[in-house]
Amino acid sequence: MPVVTPLPPDHDPEVAALATFFNETLGFCPNSVLTMQRRPAIAKAFIMLNKAVMENKGRVTSDLKRLIGYVTSQTAGCQYCQAHTIRAAERYGAEGDKLLHICRYQSHPAFSEAERAALDFAAAASAVPNAVDEAISERLHRYWDDGEIVEILGVIALFGYLNRWNDSMGTPLEWPARESGEQFLGKEGWTGGKHV
């Protein structure tokens, strides 16, 4: 049982209008947003932050941003967000090998060294305590400029918020996200945990 039950998608018209953003990314409005709308200002601010973070200004692609979100969520242990990010990565065109082997990104040939640097940064930045060190920073700067690093950390920070929200709330996982989790992550031990 979730700590707070999500409200219907049409509960707040302003939130519903902003939440159409998620129809592109996930194909549905996430239950996390439906819970946040009990305080509409939180839901609206979150959606606007999500849109800003996921806007592409450099070479950090939409699918890579979702894979960064996945590694962030895997590090934090949030199975709800793991399912959402793998689904969104697929919807944004991530290669099948990347989706199936994201847990082995450090060695799998589907990932470039630039992607590995970004994903290693995501894992280190999501660890508690934070594990970003000079070596990770130097490697990141080898492949990404300052603006792109801001985009990458924006994704990590956004999912840090979502990981805490969804795992603490026990947000129920929507069926389409559960299907993606089972398809791409099930062989890695993903079960959906408290969210199913």
Residue 36 belongs to some domain of the structure: no
7: three-class secondary structure by DSSP: coil
101: domain range? 60-191
Length of the chain as a residue count: 196
Q: Look at residue 69 in the predicted model and tell me its pLDDT.
A: 98
Per the domain annotation, does 167 fall within a domain? yes
Q: What would the pLDDT profile of 124-176 be if each residue is shown by its tens digit?
A: 999 999 999 999 999 999 999 999 999 999 999 999 999 999 999 999 999 99
Evaluate whether residue 180 is within a structural domain: yes
Name the residue among 194, 4, 190, 161 with its Cα closest to residue 69: 161
Q: How far apart are CA 97 and CA 102, in angstroms?
A: 8
Residue 155 lies in a domain: yes
Instruction: Give the count of domains, the chain.
Output: 1
Predicted local confidence at residue 180, as pLDDT: 98
pLDDT number for residue 76: 98
Rounded average pLDDT over 184-194: 97
Report the C-alpha gap between 73 and 160 in whole angstroms.
Answer: 7
Confidence grade of residue 105 (pLDDT, cut at 50, 70, 90): very high
Output the pLDDT for position 196: 96
Residue 171 lies in a domain: yes
Q: What is the pLDDT of residues 8-49, one digit of tens each?
A: 999 999 999 999 999 999 999 999 999 999 999 999 999 999
80: in domain: yes
The CATH number given to whatever domain includes residue 123 is 1.20.1290.10
> Would 153 be classed as within a structural domain?
yes
Average pLDDT, the chain: 97
Q: Average pLDDT, stretch 4-8? A: 97
CB 172 within 8 A of CB 79: no
Residue 181 within a domain: yes
What is the phi/psi pair of residue 188, to 5°? Answer: -95, 5
Q: Which of 34, 102, 17, 18 is nearest to 66 (CA)?
A: 102
List of residues 6+ apart from 46 with CB closer than 8 A: 33, 36, 161
Based on the number of CB atoms within 10 Å of its own CB, is 57 exposed (0-12), middle (13-18) or buried (19 or more)?
Answer: exposed
